[in-house]
Structure 1
Amino acid sequence: MTNSFPPAVSDRICRHMNQDHSDAVARYAQTFGQIPDATAATMLSIDADGMNLQVQVGEVSQPLRIPFDHTLVDAKDAHQTLVAMLQQMER
């Protein structure tokens, strides 16, 4: 696998995360993006090395790149990694 997912895979993951897990996306920004004041975030894209978010802090919107701790191999690995990141935040 190269360092990016096909656009359709990235789009599917982002659509799912934004529609069904928007609270988790905001928590990624707060914790892994080190923006504790983030009030909302949208996942713009995901690739093998990280995710790109648009983060809302008050009235300001800013881009944020969150790298993964390893290079993802496929969409299943992306799912497992995103879940593991959430579990890490709950500890």
Structure 2
Amino acid sequence: MSFIIDFKDEAKRDLEKHQKAGQKIVLKKIKDFTLECQSNPRTGTGKPEQLKYRQPETWSRRINDKHRFVYEIEGQIIHILSVWGHYK
């Protein structure tokens, strides 16, 4: 099963912040997580965990100690919500 990836505006702004800061390792992890989510968004690297008390199905993966890759699964679409900081 293949999922469609949709970066929300906030996630796009977060990517720009990482690019301006020259965080190549973080950007590579974001790319890897995005590719992984296309085939299986509920398992893989970055310790995926479903966030409680959030609807629809919202998940998080660890980029590093400071940043999280937060996304929601809606049918066949993965909405990337943020890639900067912790949960918003």
- Shared fold, TM over 0.5: no
TM-score by length of 1: 0.35
Question: Larger % of helix: which?
Answer: 1
Of structures 1 and 2, the one with the larger relative CO (CA 8 A, separation 6+) is 2
